């Protein structure tokens, strides 16, 4: 019997759409099935608080999308994507009222670090210069033949170090240490863990090389641009189509799962070889998050003037304080003073709020285990809003007086909004050293599953979390190679 489509993609997140575009560009007929009534997964926007306030439901700040070698090949500007670069990509306030700032310019950043200036320059200048080559190396499976071995070598040794070691070794003073620690905390790992420095190096040098931009109109505009380009090429998207088992799928040569490993294990179930299924089921989760969006009557009254010019603010104080908060989370404890990530999009994008009013996006890390299936209910019951607001007040006294509306999302709420966010894990699984190498299996093509024609294309595959579409792109290329090598025959 003839196929309905050459390829079906389950899920319309950035990786699902990335995979779908790669397949349709190769001349295949492609259908995307999305469980939600809106497309985009982790790149969506909505009026979560009050009318006229547009909030990013998940992702907000996009160094990886702006730097994605794959997205660069797509005409996304023609479909309305417009990057806004805040004057300062990232500010990290300290208790003395100053803030360490990551500026676009490495030297400008370094010069604010006094005696740590030279160390910062030595660390970031080569990485920033090599960013295009380096990003091509690390935005793919680790098991590959490097095309830029010198750049990769320079990056690799430092990247492996725990962020606490590297910062204490390189920097004498708090501003540089705290700034690097905050960026490394995007790893969701305790900062004493191997490979946490990689996150500080990659995201820090991305800040210099491509910025930490935000899309005009909200992150939904990334998904809309991807989806509209896909449709222009002849692709089809169906919403409200949640897939629970393989029998629900139309007839197709290949199926790509923009779902987590745990969902793939459930959906494909007994059809997967037991050993592979066991590996998927035992893939380790990252900690979860607790998120709040605010509608504000005015900009945030930061003590540090630099924070009023920055798109992203990291709130957590010193290296030791951030390391302590992340240690608590990893041990399953809720930190009293969590590390809080904040984005203030409306300062730079007037489409996000009514005139004179503002939005604020904030989240902190919490222990994993809030999902009903996984039993560690403590985090689920904790409302982190008081602790998040105390951290904001610490660096912006009077913040609470600006609040017009709040929208909170616990780990359980996140999971309800997108099955990929089970337990509040926003990265498709922990990014510890082993799971970066074997994501989810040790292979140069970890996208392929043992079932012929079934591929995984979500952030549970390399290079992992973030809006960049690279997991989808690589997975689709693996599927295309198999189809054109005739490992997957055409049905008559
Ligand atoms: C609160 C939050 C903040 C974040 N901040 C940032 C940030 O600032 N910058 C950044 O780069 N990244 C950020 N991220 C991470 C980023 O959003 C994700 O890494 C990225 O979206 C992963 O893309 P994906 O396509 O793999 O999966 P997703 O974006 O999760 O998309 C998966 C899609 O598949 C659908 N789906 C799942 N299961 C099924 C099913 N069974 N049937 C049908 N459809 C299904 C889902 O509904 C969803 O639409 C954030 C994430 C969250 C949640």
Residue 2's pLDDT is what? 83
Residues within a 6 A CB radius of ligand 1: 10-16, 33-36, 41-43, 58-62, 64, 242-243, 258-259, 263, 289, 291, 363, 414, 418-421, 426-428, 458-459, 465-467, 471
- CB burial of 199-225 (b: ≥16 within 10 Å; e: otherwise) equals bbbbbbbbbbbbbbbbbbbbbbbbbbb
Over residues 26-43, mean pLDDT:
98
Q: CA-CA distance, 232 to 238, in Å (whole number)?
A: 15
pLDDT at position 381: 62
Average the pLDDT over 7-28 and give the result: 98
For tokens 């029998």, what's the residue? Answer: 247
Q: Are 90 and 306 in contact (CB under 8 A)?
A: no
Nearest Cα residue to 15 out of 37, 1, 34, 28 = 34
Q: Within a 10 A sphere around the Cβ of 330, how many other Cβ atoms?
A: 20
Task: Please determine, for residue 79, whether its predicted confidence score (pLDDT) is greater than 90.
Answer: yes
Q: Give the nearest ligand 1 atom to 417 CA.
A: 47
Its pTM stands at 0.96
Residue bearing the CA closest to ligand 1, atom 31: 13
Least confident piece of the model among 150-154, 285-289, 349-353, 423-427:
150-154
- Residue 83, preceding bond cis, omega within 30 degrees? no
Give the Å distance between the CA of 465 and the centre of ligand 1: 8
Residue 492, pLDDT above cutoff 50: no
Q: Answer yes or no: is pLDDT of 166 > 60.
A: yes
Please give the Cα distance from 455 to 453 (Å, whole number): 7
Distances (CA, A) of 370 to 119, 246, 431, 459: 41, 27, 19, 20
Evaluate if residue 144 carries a pLDDT over 90: no
Specify the ligand 1 atom closest to the Cα of 33.
43
Residues with Cβ within 8 Å of 434's Cβ and at least 6 positions away in sequence, in order, are none
For the CA of 11, the nearest atom of ligand 1 = 34
DSSP-based helix, strand, coil % in the chain, nearest 5? 45, 15, 40
State the pLDDT at residue 452: 95
pLDDT at res. 376: 46
Q: How many residues does the chain have?
A: 492
pLDDT of residue 372: 43
pLDDT at 278 exceeding the cut of 70: yes
Residue 418 CA: which ligand 1 atom is closest?
47
Asked whether residue 374 carries a pLDDT value surpassing 60, the answer given is no
What angle (nearest 5°) sits at the alpha carbon of residue 187, between those of residues 260 and 392? 110
Residue 250 token pair: 């139309």
Given a cut of 50, whether residue 148 has pLDDT beyond it is yes
Residue 371 has what pLDDT? 44
Cα Rg for the chain, rounded, in angstroms? Answer: 22
Q: What is the mean pLDDT of the chain?
A: 94
What number is the average pLDDT over the span 92-106? 98
Query: How many whole angstroms from 48 Cα to the centroid of ligand 1?
Result: 18
CA distances from 49 to 38, 311, 354, 414 (A): 18, 20, 12, 16
pLDDT above 70 covers what percent of the chain? 96
Look-up of token digits 């920055």: 310
Instruction: Write out the two tokens for 8.
Output: 């079906």
Residues of the chain with pLDDT > 90, as a percent, come to 88
Ligand 1 atom at shortest distance from the alpha carbon of 465: 19
Torsion of CA 413, 293, 343, 462, to 10 degrees: 10
Summarised one tens digit per residue, pLDDT across range 428-471 is 999 999 999 999 999 999 999 999 999 999 999 999 999 999 99
Q: State the average pLDDT over residues 305-325.
A: 98
Within 10 A of 464 (CB to CB), how many other CB atoms are there? 23
Q: Whose CA is nearest to atom 34 of ligand 1?
A: 11
Contact 316, 342 (CB under 8 A): no
Helical axes 220-232 vs 14-25, angle rounded to 10°: 20
- At 369 the pLDDT is 67
């Amino acid at each position: 019997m003839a196929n309905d489509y050459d390829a079906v993609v389950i899920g319309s997140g950035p990786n699902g759409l990335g995979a779908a575009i790669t397949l349709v560009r190769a001349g295949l007929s492609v259908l995307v099935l999305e469980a939600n009534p809106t497309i985009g997964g982790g790149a969506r926007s909505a009026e979560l608080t009050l009318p006229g306030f547009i909030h990013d439901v998940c992702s907000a700040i996009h160094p990886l999308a702006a730097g994605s070698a794959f997205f660069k090949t797509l005409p996304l500007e023609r479909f309305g994507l417009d990057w806004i670069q805040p004057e300062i990509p990232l500010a990290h306030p300290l208790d003395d009222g100053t803030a360490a700032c990551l500026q676009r310019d490495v030297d400008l950043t370094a010069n604010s670090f006094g005696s740590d200036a030279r160390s910062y320059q030595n660390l970031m200048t080569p990485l920033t210069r090599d960013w295009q080559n380096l990003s091509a190396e690390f935005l793919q499976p680790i098991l590959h033949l490097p095309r830029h071995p010198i750049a990769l070598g320079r990056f690799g040794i430092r990247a492996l170090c725990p962020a606490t070691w590297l910062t204490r070794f390189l920097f004498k003073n708090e501003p540089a240490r705290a700034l690097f620690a905050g960026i490394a905390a995007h790893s969701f790992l305790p900062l004493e863990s191997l490979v946490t420095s990689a996150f500080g190096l990659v995201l820090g040098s991305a800040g210099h090389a491509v910025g930490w931009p935000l899309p005009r109109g909200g992150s939904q505009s990334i998904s809309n641009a991807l989806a509209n380009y896909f449709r222009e090429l002849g692709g089809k998207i169906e919403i409200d189509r949640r897939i629970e088992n393989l029998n629900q799928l139309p007839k197709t040569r290949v199926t790509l799962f923009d779902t987590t490993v745990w969902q793939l294990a459930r959906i494909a179930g007994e059809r997967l070889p037991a050993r592979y299924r066991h590996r998927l089921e035992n893939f380790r989760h990252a900690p979860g998050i607790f998120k709040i969006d605010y509608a504000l009557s005015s900009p945030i009254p930061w003590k540090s003037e630099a924070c009023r010019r920055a798109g992203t603010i990291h709130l957590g104080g010193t290296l030791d304080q951030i390391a302590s908060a992340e240690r608590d989370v990893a041990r399953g404890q809720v930190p009293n003073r969590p590390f809080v990530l904040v984005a203030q999009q409306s300062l730079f994008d007037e489409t996000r709020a009514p005139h004179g009013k503002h939005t604020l996006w904030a989240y902190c890390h919490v222990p994993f285990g809030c999902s009903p299936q996984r039993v560690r209910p403590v985090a689920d019951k904790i409302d982190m809003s008081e602790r998040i607001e105390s951290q904001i007040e610490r660096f912006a006294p009077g913040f609470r007086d600006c609040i017009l509306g709040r929208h909170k999302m616990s780990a359980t709420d996140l999971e309800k909004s997108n099955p990929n966010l089970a337990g509040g894990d926003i990265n498709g699984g922990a990014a510890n050293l082993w799971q970066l190498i074997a994501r989810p299996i040790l292979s140069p093509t970890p996208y392929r599953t043992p079932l012929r024609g079934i591929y995984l294309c979500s952030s549970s595959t390399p290079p992992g979390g973030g809006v960049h579409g690279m997991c989808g792109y690589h997975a689709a290329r693996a599927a295309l190679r198999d189809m054109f090598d005739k490992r997957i025959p055409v049905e008559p």
